[in-house]
Structure 1
Amino acid sequence: MRNKMITGAIIAAVLLSGMVLFWYFTPSEISIVNIDAPKEIAIGQLDELRINLQNNASEDVNVTINVKNAFVDEKGESLKGFTILAYGNLSNMSNYKSLNAVDRPQKEVLLKPGSNIILVSIGYQVPGAQKVEVEVYQQGKFADSRIIELNVLKPTIEIFLEKYKSTNGTNEIHSVYGYLRLRGKGYAPGVAVNISVIDEETNKTVKTVTRGYSLHSEEDIPYSSQPLVIWQNRIFTYDPVTGAKIDTQTDTYSPIVVIELAKDESSTEKYARSPVVVKGKMGDRYKVVVTATWVDQFVSSEMKIPSSLATYKLPYPYGRKVQK
């Protein structure tokens, strides 16, 4: 009797193991048809993967999706989790379901029979090639996977300087304007800009200041240029007849450096709109050096004051005003 029980248990275990193995190695009815992805994506730009899944079953099937390397931070580390933006069946696009942006390592979605689309958000803070792997599981069993590679573009930073010369009584006023440009699509956070004035006779730094900037270049604009010093003034007025509120914003683009060369005594003008102000005497010679550093990029531009070259005349003295 005991031997029969043992034999029966062994047979049951073998049958159960066989069923499990048969289930595990039976080809899944779920497969990844293709993944549409942008060939290029800019740093800091959110984009999406379009995952096409085929459900060959005659009924709805719940599957678990895992997307690896969907997001990478500025340190180059892949973040856990991803965001499904929407999913649905191609035969009825109106039934697309939009999900809340909740990041989890894996997510379950319901596939209708036929072709299904899943939209997944992606974004990267470092340039270069990035591999994204999509895995699909059905009831815990691996169904299919696919790896794609996309290129994350890296914009470049540039520095431009302009000068303006004027007089204040018998004193010469040399103003230097600076512009930071991002060439190419993308986002450049944490650009460190150093502005220094050097005495050319002693080669010593007279004044220096470091400021931080963030640049963003829109998709339809080849480059984005930003003045290094902007003062904003906002005025609210009201229409006396209708009471309508009028919002007027004035942006003043000011010099990054003002150098006053006095014939006799320096003026009492503070030039408060500029971060670097130097007051010297006629005959003094200075060099304005501006550098910008971002990730592994370093650019610089310099200008001598006074210059033997003809001074570029700006259309507006000491500050450019733009009304919005």
Structure 2
Amino acid sequence: MRNKVLIGTALLALILVIAVVWYTSAINVSIVSIVTPAEVGTHDSGTVAILLQNNGSKDINVSLKVKNTMEDEKGVSVPEPIIIVGAPGSGLDALPAEVSLKPGINQINVFYGYEVPGIKKIEVEVYQKGKLADTKSADLRVLPPQIRMELQYTNESKSGYDIYKVFGSLSNFGRGTAVGVAVNISIIDEATEKVVSSSTRTYRIRDYTFNQPMNTWRGKDGLETQAPVALIELSSGAPSNESYLPAATVAKGKIGNRFRVVAIAQWQDQVSNAEVLIPP
């Protein structure tokens, strides 16, 4: 009985040794490093380089799982990002497709893109023959846009009317591009505090863009000029029949009335405000 136990123990130990030797001998790939930019902005695009070491003397096939190189508008990682195998332009594959590694250092480029700012932890897993061979992670800082808004006005008088045109512009002082910036323009009667006209539009503004017009008009000559975002007509008599397009927010009153034009721009958790009193 004792001999059977000893034999069984020896066989179990031998099986474990063989399994360990087989497993370790089958794994001859490792992740050397994950090379990322120092920082990127929202809606930037580019590639992260994953350096893999084939420690063997022959080509091997491996598969990769990469997390958090691409995210959607909610900050959720896209499950299958796109990679470039080898030098950029040599071919495209969708992860986790199997790729071939030559002996030595191999470079895999993975596209990145983010819509939500913050610190992103890129995680890479490499598998050989279905077994996890190595893992590594790296942090990438994604910077947000910095939205600012400004209102200016001009006025002109003609045949019993004072016309005030309010122009708006957006600026982005940040590294990231802002998509879906919602801007509401409201004209408020100062006497009643009631909103008499209001409209909302969305904008896209690239990084480091300054004084981007919020409304434009293309004339018959094909040239594009800045157009007002709001217009106020003050009359000494009856109001005119003019629609004042392309201004989407229009108010008409009597000379002596006062109105306040309020603009609120919002992108995610950022809010920028501007207002102007008409007449000043």
The TM-score, its normalising length taken from structure 1, stands at 0.78
The equivalences for 1:60-139 within 5 A come to: 60-87=59-86, 98-100=90-92, 102-104=93-95, 106-139=96-129
Alignment equivalent of 1:283, drawn from 226, 251, 256: 256
Contact 1:156 1:182 in 2 (8 A): yes
Gaps of 5+ in 1: 1-7, 89-95, 236-248, 308-324
Cα distance in 2, alignment partners of residues 44 and 257 from structure 1: 30
2:19 corresponds to 1:28: no
The equivalences for 1:299-318 within 5 A come to: 299-307=272-280
Cα distance in 2, alignment partners of residues 197 and 128 from structure 1: 36
Q: CA RMSD in A?
A: 2.4
The residue number in structure 2 matching 1:297 is 270
The equivalences for 1:179-190 within 5 A come to: 179-190=169-180
Shift in Å, 1:226:
2.2
Distance 1:85 1:69, change over 3 A: same
Cα distance in 2, alignment partners of residues 134 and 232 from structure 1: 50
Paired AA for residue 36 in structure 1: V
2:259 corresponds to 1:269: no
Shift in Å, 1:167:
1.2
Distance 1:140 1:234, change over 3 A: farther
Cα distance in 2, alignment partners of residues 224 and 135 from structure 1: 42
The equivalences for 1:200-211 within 5 A come to: 200-211=190-201
Paired AA for residue 167 in structure 1: S
The residue number in structure 1 matching 2:4 is none
Contact 2:147 2:174 in 1 (8 A): no
The residue number in structure 2 matching 1:194 is 184
Contact 1:216 1:224 in 2 (8 A): no
Cα distance in 2, alignment partners of residues 179 and 129 from structure 1: 30
3-state DSSP of counterpart to 1:58: coil
The equivalences for 1:145-184 within 5 A come to: 145-184=135-174
Cα distance in 2, alignment partners of residues 111 and 125 from structure 1: 32
Identity of counterpart residues, as a percentage? Answer: 39
Paired AA for residue 287 in structure 1: R
Deviates more, 1:263-272 or 1:37-46: 263-272
Distance 1:97 1:62, change over 3 A: farther
Distance 1:97 1:159, change over 3 A: closer
Distance 1:15 1:204, change over 3 A: same
Paired AA for residue 132 in structure 1: I
